[in-house]
């Protein structure tokens, strides 16, 4: 693993604050170890290569997961799913249009698009009602393999997938909670160890702790303390001043 530290910002005149984005090039055979220590694959390449980033990662340990819903429906109709690779079918099925509708409905800024970069580990899980062309949502996912050198986009065996990650979800109707339950059930049925849900910051990430089997990366271990996680998410949203940021740390003071 080759580490890169992107020193993006700092304050030293009136505050002791350094903002640094740690990145890493992960070699074949190191992928599972990287996941176990909080690293996840960044969707955007750096210097033309895939990199992993470090953050307060979140995941569901699927051995402990229990579904939240007995039925998965929208307006009385069952929601079905299908998995497709990241290729031209993504555009043929109209997923970019669904994404634009989602961003407009949520009033989010479009500073990111899940269709700019495709890696060999990427796939899309689409959710539909009735026929597969009646799509009401999708999730872009990343596959993490037991053996990286066996992973080719046209040869992926689900038995070789150790973990999955949800990169981004978009929909035309408010079904995110229901479809996440479906994603977790699908992963569990396919004997996948963990389902990663990206970083866990600010109040908008509190919902991730609502699922059984939830864990979050502290920087040194995977914690199951949901109460502390929610407290940290609330604290993230409250902090606005540099002076407050400079005084924060989760590293225990042994003095």
Instruction: Please check whether residue 254 lies inside any domain of the structure.
Output: no
Q: What is the pLDDT of residue 255?
A: 47
Predicted confidence (pLDDT) at residue 159 exceeds the cutoff of 90 = no
Instruction: Please check whether residue 178 lies inside any domain of the structure.
Output: yes
Q: Give whole-number Cα distances, 138 to 93, 99, 102, 106, 244, in Å.
A: 11, 9, 10, 15, 38
Instruction: Average the pLDDT over 230-235 and give the result.
Output: 95
Confidence of residue 158 (pLDDT cuts 50, 70, 90): confident
Q: What is the pLDDT of residue 110?
A: 72
Q: What is the pLDDT of residue 51?
A: 95
Instruction: Please check whether residue 251 lies inside any domain of the structure.
Output: no
Q: What is the pLDDT of residue 150?
A: 47
Whether 224 and 78 have beta carbons less than 8 Å apart is answered as: no
Instruction: Please check whether residue 252 lies inside any domain of the structure.
Output: no
Instruction: Please check whether residue 152 lies inside any domain of the structure.
Output: yes
Predicted confidence (pLDDT) at residue 153 exceeds the cutoff of 80 = no
Number of domains in the chain: 1
For 162-221, the pLDDT digits (tens) are 899 999 999 999 999 999 999 999 999 999 999 999 999 999 999 999 999 999 999 999
Q: What is the pLDDT of residue 216?
A: 98
- Sheet containing 122-129, strands listed edge to edge, beginning at the edge strand earlier in sequence: 73-74, 77-85, 122-129, 135-145, 161-171, 194-199, 57-61, 214-217, 222-223
The larger pLDDT score, comparing residue 238 to residue 24, is at: 24
Give me the domain span that covers residue 164.
Answer: 2-246
For 27-62, the pLDDT digits (tens) are 878 889 999 999 999 999 998 899 999 999 999 999
Confidence of residue 147 (pLDDT cuts 50, 70, 90): low
Confidence of residue 251 (pLDDT cuts 50, 70, 90): very low
Whether 196 and 163 have beta carbons less than 8 Å apart is answered as: yes
Q: What is the pLDDT of residue 248?
A: 58
Predicted confidence (pLDDT) at residue 19 exceeds the cutoff of 90 = no
Q: What is the mean pLDDT of the chain?
A: 89
Instruction: Please check whether residue 36 lies inside any domain of the structure.
Output: yes
For 108-136, the pLDDT digits (tens) are 887 789 999 999 999 999 999 998 889 99
């Amino acid at each position: 693993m080759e580490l890169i530290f992107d020193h993006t910002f700092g304050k030293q005149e009136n505050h002791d604050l350094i903002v640094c984005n740690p990145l890493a090039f992960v070699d074949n055979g190191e992928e599972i170890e990287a996941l176990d220590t909080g690293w996840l694959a960044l969707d955007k390449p750096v210097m033309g290569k895939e990199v992993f980033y470090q953050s307060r990662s979140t995941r569901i340990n699927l051995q402990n997961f229990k579904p939240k819903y007995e039925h998965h429906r929208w307006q009385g109709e069952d929601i079905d799913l299908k998995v497709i690779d990241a290729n031209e079918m993504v555009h043929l099925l109209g997923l970019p249009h669904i994404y634009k509708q989602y961003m407009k409905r949520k009033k989010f800024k479009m500073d990111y698009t899940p269709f700019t970069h495709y890696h060999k580990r990427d796939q899309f899980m689409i959710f539909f009602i009735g026929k597969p062309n009646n799509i009401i949502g999708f999730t872009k996912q990343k596959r993490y393999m037991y053996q990286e050198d066996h992973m080719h986009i046209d040869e992926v065996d689900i038995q070789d997938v150790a973990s999955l990650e949800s990169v981004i979800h978009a929909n035309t109707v408010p079904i995110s909670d229901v479809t996440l339950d479906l994603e977790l059930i699908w992963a569990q049925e396919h004997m996948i160890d963990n389902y990663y849900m990206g970083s866990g910051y600010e109040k908008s990430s509190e919902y991730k702790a609502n699922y059984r089997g939830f864990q979050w990366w502290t920087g040194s271990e995977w914690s199951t303390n949901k109460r502390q996680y929610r407290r940290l998410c609330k604290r993230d949203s409250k902090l606005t001043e540099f002076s407050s940021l400079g005084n924060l740390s989760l590293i225990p003071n042994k003095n």
